[in-house]
Structure 1
C-alpha cells in the first residue's frame, strides 16, 4: 500500500513531506484512509509486514490506526481485536531486537498502547499489563523505556486532571483506576523497584520517578512508601540525571493530600512515611540534606535561567524538609548542625531571590 500523489511519487516520501502542495495531498489521502473501513487494517499490515519506506511513513500510518482505535475499536470483532494484539506484540518484538526506533515513534506507540489499554482493560483484557509487559520480562533496555513511557501515556489518557473530560470519560476512567488498583498496580510497583535496583537500567531511573510522581496521587500509598523503595527514591536525589524527577516523586509522597482516602488510613500512612524517612534523615542526613542543598545552590547560581519546573519543585521540597528531618535534628551532632545551618541559609537566600 505505497501511497501515491497525483504525479505518481510516493506520497509519504521525506522530500514530499516538506512540500506544502504534497502535504495537502498526503493529508487528503490519510483522511480518506481513516474513513475507509479497511484502511486501519491495511495500515497495520504494512507496519507489521515492514512494507513502509521510512519512519515518517510509519508515523503517518499510525495516525490511521489511532483514529480507528479512538472511534471504532470498542465495537471490534474477535478477529479485529486479535489483529491489534498481534500489532502490539510485533512492536514489542521489534524493541527486543534492539532495532533503532526514533523517539517520536516511541511516544506515538506509547500513546496507541494507552488507547488500547483504556478500551480493553479490564473487561476484554484484564491481564493487559502482565501479558504485554511484566510476564514477558524486559529483554532489552528499549522494552523498559517503552514500558515506562506507556505508563505515563496511560496516566495522561486516564488520570491527568489538567485535561477536561466528559462525564462519560470521567466515569470510564474511574472504573479503570479502580480495576488497576485491584489487578495490576501492585505488580507495576514491584517492577519499578526492580528497575531502580538495576544499575544497568540507570538511564531510565528518571522515568520511574516520573511514573511514581504521576501515579502516587491515586494508587495505594503502601506500594511505594516502603523500607526498600524510599531509600532508592532519596538516593535518586543525589544523581544529577535523576534528581529533578526524584524531587517530583518525593514531593508526591510527602505532600499527598489524602483526597479519597479514609482519614484513619491516611493518618496511618503519614505516620508510616515519617517512620521510613526520619531514620534516613537522622542516621544518614547527608542523603536528604546534601542533594537538596546542591539543587538550591544550582537554582541560585542559574538565577532567572533556571527551569521553572525545577524552581517550583525545589521550593516545595525545601518546605517538605520538616517531614523528612526529625524535629530533634538540630540537637544532633555538630556535623549535622553545620549541614542544617548551611541548608537553612541557602534556603533563605533562595526564598529572598525568588520573591525579589
Structure 2
C-alpha cells in the first residue's frame, strides 16, 4: 500500500484508510474480521467517531493483538466544551482499548457559533491541549461539510488535519479549501469518497483512483465486507492514475447518476418550519445507501422537527445551488423513515 504524509504531522498514512461508519451494521466478530483484513492489506489509518454508535468498540476488537505502533487511530466528537471533549476521549480510549488515540477531531463544525465556542474559553480546544499533555491524544483535527467554516477554522493554525467530503461529484473544495490545506501543510482526510454510496460497486474503483492525482493524504471509504477491503485496497497498491478514456467513462457515469442528492452545503437553511433539511437527507442516505435503516430511523424520530412539518413554502429550493426538488425529497425521506416496513417492498 502506498503511503502519503499526513501533512505537517509527517505520519506515513496509507492512501486508502478505513472509514468506521459502515461497521455499525456488522456484529463485533464480523467487524473484527473486516478490520483485521484491512490492516493485513496495508491500511494503517482508521477513522471512527463517538457518534457512530458501537463503531469504536467493534474497531477495538479488530485492533486487539495488532501492533499499536503500526496503525494510526482517529476518532471525533461533537462536544464543543473542554469538559465534554475530555470525557469523550476517555470513552473512546476505553472503547478502542488503547492508551493514546493518534488523532482526535472536532466533528462537523458547521457554523460561526460552533467555531467560536470550540476556540473560545472553556471550549473543546482547551480540552484538546489538556488531552495532549496527558498523553491521551497526539494531535487534533477538524471535520465538516461547510467549506467557508473550515477555511476560517484552519486559518487559525490550531489544527493539524482537516477532513471534508470530496469526490468526483463534489469538487467545490478544489476552488479554495484544498489549496488552503496544502498551503498550510495540513493532513487532508477525504470522507465520502464514494459520494455517500452514490457510486455503486461498478464505479467504486475508478471513483477511488480519481484521488490519486490530487494532494490528499488519505481517503476513507466505509468497508463492511472482505470483498470491499480487497477492491478498495487494490487501488492503493496499484497506484494507477485514471486514463483519459477512464476519465471520460467516469464522467459518463456521473451524468447517469444525476445531480439529485444533498451535498450538505446548508445553503437551504434556516428552514421557516425549523426542519434540519441536510440532517433529514443525511439520515435518508444512511437508510437508502448504507443499509443502516434502524440506526437512521432512530435518529430521524429523535429530530425535534421532522420532514413532514414542511409547509412547502419553497424557500429552501430558492436557495439551493443544485436546484434540488427539496420539497419532494423531504416527502420521500419521511416515507422511508416513518414506515421501515416498506423495506419489504424493495
TM-score range relative to shorter protein? under 0.3
Larger relative strand fraction: 2
Larger relative helix fraction: 1
Provide the TM-score with structure 2 as the length reference: 0.25
Higher relative contact order (CA 8 A, sep 6+): 2
Provide the TM-score with structure 1 as the length reference: 0.25
